[in-house]
Structure 1
Amino acid sequence: MKHFLSTLAQFFMFLYCKFLWRTLKFVTRKVTGRCEMQRICYNNKPGARRTLKIESSLKFSKSGLLQSAVNVHADSVEKTIDVIMALKKINPDTNPQLAISLQASLYQIVGYRSLVVEVEKLRREPYDCENPDHEEMLLKLWRTLRPESPLSGRISKQWCDIGFQGSDPKTDFRGMGLLGLQTLLYFAEHDKASALQVLHDSLQPRHRSASKDEASQMSKAEWERKKSDKAIGYSFAIVGINITELAYSLLVSGALKTHLYNVAPEMPNLVHFQQTFCYLMQEFHRFWIEEDPCDIMEFNRVRERFHKRVQRQLRNPDMALCPHFPASHLHLVNL
């Protein structure tokens, strides 16, 4: 009975809120002379703050045509804008900026959806050692990270030197498929200096530097023990594949919309995703040093804390993750 009353109360609250929301929309339009789309576009700057509100407005519209606008093909965006303007009874000649703003946001929405499909396709494509393109990407990864050390053979213990688990890296790509290899190769090729530095530090780990306050609170014995303890490293390639999974989960959950809507003025694409991976890889490396774990068994704990930190950052609609690598031509900043 108690559960029934609680459910009933929630139902009436939903009806009340829905009715109140529609009433407020109606009154606001009458007072301002502008529909919700106009208010969003005129009162919010370009980027995630505007596009997220437009996306939500379209999804929860009473009109099926408006709801379907977020699922159109890129080639149909301009025609869709005409439909929206007509349904909202907005004269495009007297509101030219509205059409431009709607078009930019709709391209971002459509682009994000297409990016999810493209990334998912790569993730589902297994690494195939019989595919010469796959093999060439893998060998290029080795040559980029270890140019001074030729491979003794395709199957070799040398792969462990760049952080794979065994003699044949193909087994490590089972979880993320070709996506894991592509992100690692992009990092190595487009931000080689940072990739080599992260690889070097993962093999020869170092403690983070203690602040003056921390040092003052340590006894001499603790300080000496900290200096003598060996910092914990990690497997570069395996962690890279793991961070690829983190970036993928942020993308699929929609958490990356904030970042991508703020940095891609039109349609987010695979390069935006790969550069996001580069940022996450470097930031995780810094985070690992800050956490200074006791052993590699703490990896999942550290990763989870890092994941939550990134999620918190992305809740800010003005947030754009800021990669510190020269390959970026996007100049990503916190807006």
Structure 2
Amino acid sequence: MLWFVWQYVYTCFLRFWLKWFLRQITGRCELQRICANCKAGAPRTAKAEHSLRSSKSTVLRGAVDVKEDAVENCVAQIMKEKNIKEQSDPEFKVRLRQCLMQISGYNSLYVSVEELRKQGFDSENEAHEQMLLKLWNLLMPAVKLESRITKQWGDIGFQGDDPKTDFRGMGMLGLTNLVFFSETYTSTARRVLSHASHPKQGYSYAIVGINLTEMAYSLLKNGALKSHFYNTVPGKPQLQHFQQLFCYLVYEFDKFWVEEQPESIMEFNLYREKFHDKVKLLLLDPSITLILTVEPKN
């Protein structure tokens, strides 16, 4: 209770006067101090984003939703609003622009991921069908599919004879993630599949991959991945950066599963939540970078 009271008092009263006092002492506004004193990446961009969201100025608050093509104009508006002369602080403009590009980029990445998630797998779509067959060929190059609908799909972890039913929750996002991992880290993907195929301690490789896609999606949606992307992508993150994160999750989950040695696949939900908690704890570190360190195409 006391904490919430303190938060209210600080936000509504003390913060304004503290900012005013520091500006009188340093000659710089809060954004200038953040851009000058905080390390590039999440330490700087996250604080700049919080400062913008907390501002009483509509110009500054609107900056957190700025589109990529409006960043330059937005920077100019902020400098005008805060009466900051470029000649007196030339680095500020460059650093603020980078912060806004990262903030804008994260927002647009979510939109791209959401669009792909909403796109259902269409068996009448040749591109979708070819991508599904590509997944099989990447993981099982020595085995030919007997037909398009077959129990063989269970060998790479699908639940039924036709994988299209398993993509309902995550749509094409689930399939593109699985193909990206299998194509970018082929040997690693096959090794993970071999672990998943263990007769006692295995798990459904494709279904788990789709499940981990949902985990990555939810972390992106609630903003938990901001520190990771702010630290790893200097500008605007692309879909491939999200897919790289997925690769990290698949690889690390497989290690986690093997080390934990669950009794059976019936305990999947329990260990999935334990792994999820582990990832969320890592993401609390403002310097975090969730990078898969194995060599591509290894």
TM-score range, shorter chain: over 0.9
Deviations 1:161-210 (A, max 9, x none): 111011100000011100000000000001101101000111136xxxxx
Cα shift at 1:94: 2.3
| Root mean square deviation, CA, Å | 1.7
Q: Does 1:64 align with 2:42?
A: no
The corresponding residue for 2:30 is 36
Trace 1:261-300 onto structure 2 (pairs within 5 A): 261-300=230-269
| Match for residue 244 of structure 1 among 204, 213, 220 | 213
Change beyond 3 A, Cα 1:17–1:261: closer
Structure number, greater radius of gyration: 1
Whole-angstrom distance in 2 between the partners of 1:23 and 1:197: 58
Trace 1:137-176 onto structure 2 (pairs within 5 A): 137-176=131-170
SS in 2 for 1:318: coil
Q: Any unmatched runs of 5+ in structure 2? A: none
The corresponding residue for 1:18 is 12
Trace 1:4-15 onto structure 2 (pairs within 5 A): 14-15=8-9
After TM superposition, the score normalised by the length of structure 1 is: 0.86
Q: Any unmatched runs of 5+ in structure 1? A: 1-5, 206-230, 329-335
Change beyond 3 A, Cα 1:16–1:140: closer
Cα shift at 1:327: 3.0
Cα shift at 1:71: 1.1
| Match for residue 255 of structure 1 among 205, 221, 224 | 224
SS in 2 for 1:242: helix
Change beyond 3 A, Cα 1:284–1:63: same
Whichever residue aligns with residue 186 of structure 1, its letter is F
Whole-angstrom distance in 1 between the partners of 2:177 and 2:185: 11
The corresponding residue for 2:204 is 235
Q: Which moved more, 1:166-175 or 1:317-326?
A: 317-326
Q: Which moved more, 1:316-325 or 1:14-23?
A: 14-23
State the aligned residue count: 297
Cα shift at 1:147: 1.1
The corresponding residue for 1:186 is 180
Contact residue 135 and residue 182 of structure 2 kept, 8 A: yes
Cα shift at 1:11: 6.9
The corresponding residue for 1:310 is 279
The corresponding residue for 1:219 is none
The corresponding residue for 2:68 is 74
Q: Does 1:196 align with 2:190?
A: yes
Whole-angstrom distance in 1 between the partners of 2:174 and 2:4: 44
Whole-angstrom distance in 2 between the partners of 1:258 and 1:295: 35
Trace 1:127-142 onto structure 2 (pairs within 5 A): 127-142=121-136
Q: Does 1:50 align with 2:44?
A: yes
Whole-angstrom distance in 2 between the partners of 1:307 and 1:12: 31
Q: Does 1:117 align with 2:86?
A: no
Percent identity of paired positions between Structure 1 and Structure 2: 51
Cα shift at 1:59: 1.0
Whichever residue aligns with residue 292 of structure 2, its letter is P
Whole-angstrom distance in 2 between the partners of 1:199 and 1:315: 30
Change beyond 3 A, Cα 1:16–1:149: closer
Contact residue 244 and residue 291 of structure 2 kept, 8 A: no
Change beyond 3 A, Cα 1:281–1:13: closer
